[in-house]
Amino acid sequence: DTEVTQTPKHLVMGMTNKKSLKCEQHMGHRAMYWYKQKAKKPPELMFVYSYEKLSINESVPSRFSPECPNSSLLNLHLHALQPEDSALYLCASSQGTGGPDTQYFGPGTRLTVL
Amino acid sequence: GQNIDQPTEMTATEGAIVQINCTYQTSGFNGLFWYQQHAGEAPTFLSYNVLDGLEEKGRFSSFLSRSKGYSYLLLKELQMKDSASYLCAVLDSNYQLIWGAGTKLIIKP
């Protein structure tokens, strides 16, 4: 089973709202990732969690706040977003060996900021 | 700097064969991935190459030449459902994925 699930599938929010994106995997993977993808562009890495600790933060604005409650779950808390933050937000997971792992992606959350 | 190049768009005919090329210059190399992404959906893993040569997996094959910084994805017996973007990504010395911009493949009947 190589399934990563994400909720919600679609989200529309205003610039003053607070919302959260959720990601879950039950493959025993110890590395989890958040990516942002704009149309016709490759995914851009935002955050990496390794063994539930934040290991990479790619200079993402503080209006995006990741959280890893346990090894299976990854959240992305959103607050005071801008219209340019509208994108497909992808979660991925990998074994987290520290070596060449394959990343498996969830279906994504299509976010629209009004 | 890090750079991955692949053609922006390619067109092929149903039932035919198409080769999508990828060239890379990265700080270190720990393997190259190919992902398929249908519009509005998540990337799905197709292949991983770390040694030179050809890896075959059904209708899809992937080739790597480390000395040339070059890979290709070969799709045989094309089907309409193969219309998608194909992303080449290199794992650099820090085991971070460096992504190409993707190749949009259009299949015509």
Contact flag A42-B44 (C-beta cutoff 8 Å): no
Nearest CA in chain B to A48: B96
Handedness of CA B76, B52, B97, A24 (dihedral sign): positive
pLDDT digits (tens, 9 = 90+) for A57-109: 888 999 999 999 999 999 999 999 999 999 999 999 999 888 888 999 999 99
Phi, psi of B19 (to 5 degrees): -120, 125
pLDDT at B62: 98
Tell me what pLDDT residue B53 has.
Answer: 97
Residue B36 has pLDDT above 60, yes or no: yes
Q: Give me the pLDDT at residue A56, please.
A: 85
Predicted confidence (pLDDT) per residue in B64-84, tens digit: 999 999 999 999 999 999 999
Is the Cα torsion angle B96, B92, B38, A15 positive or negative in sign?
A: positive
* Residue among A39, A30, A33 at smallest CA distance from A105: A33
Interface of A with B in 74-93 (CB under 8 A): 88, 90
Subunit contact A90:B42, Cβ cutoff 8 A? yes
